[in-house]
Amino acid sequence: MPRIDKRKSYHLREVRIIKDFMPNAAGSCLIEFGRTRVLCTATVQNSAPSYVPEGTGWLTAEYAMLPGSTTTRKQRERNKYDGRSIEIGRLIGRSLRSIMDFTAIPDLTITIDCDVIQADGGTRTASISGGFVALSLAVKKLLESGRIERSPIKCYLAAVSAGICGGTPLLDLCYVEDSSAEADMNYVGTEDGDISEIQVSGEKRSITGKEFTDLLLLCRQGVDRIIDIQKKVLEDE
């Protein structure tokens, strides 16, 4: 199936990460996947929820789409939270917690906020990939200030989407592709090749075992490339 931007089926959109985008945040970045743009920030609080074990910390995440991020105005979430936003925030939090050692941040809570500035498909996976960068920058500041003694981050983490469009598996769908996809996958993986989460939805039909494997391979390749970009951004000091 020809893609509207002439990419190969296994190609990512252009990925750009601008770190330290919000100076007041402990860690932040603007992440772009093509026309999708997400602002990710990390904030550190000097307390942990009562339900976590004593001497450990916690990480939570929130996600929202700004009013101008879509072609029609997205309503602000005042007093009434969007179920989709809540579900995506939980996905971001679960994903990032999967690579954390919370004994390294005793009695601290790190909050990752992901705000979509412009949406063109893949906002949740871009949020996870950018959220990891914001988290890493916040942890770096905690180490430099002496507030923690070792990093809680066990390995790099990134996420990407893929889908079946016109019977063809495609990596990193834009909105037009995603809205017409027969099925799609959101994949969260580590630099070691481990999987933190996979979401597969048959939007218009079920998928075959081979199609599942094809999507899995595409996503794994995409995550590896995104992690390479994250490393260049975070190690470029």
pLDDT tens digits for 125-183? 999 999 999 999 999 999 999 999 999 999 999 999 999 999 999 999 999 999 899 99
In the structure, what pLDDT confidence band is assigned to residue 22 with cuts at 50, 70 and 90?
Answer: very high
Q: How many CB atoms lie within 10 A of CB 223?
A: 25
Reported as half-sphere exposure (CB side, CA atoms, 13 A), residue 99 has a value of 27
Angle, helices 83-97 vs 123-145, to 10°: value is 50
Distance CA 86, CA 67 (A): 17
Residues 45-96 have pLDDT tens digits of 999 999 999 999 999 999 998 876 666 666 776 655 678 899 999 999 999 9
The share of the chain scoring above pLDDT 70, in percent, equals 93
Task: Look at residue 71 in the predicted model and tell me its pLDDT.
Answer: 65
Write down the mean pLDDT value for the chain.
93
Task: Look at residue 228 in the predicted model and tell me its pLDDT.
Answer: 98
Segment 117-130 shows an average pLDDT of: 97
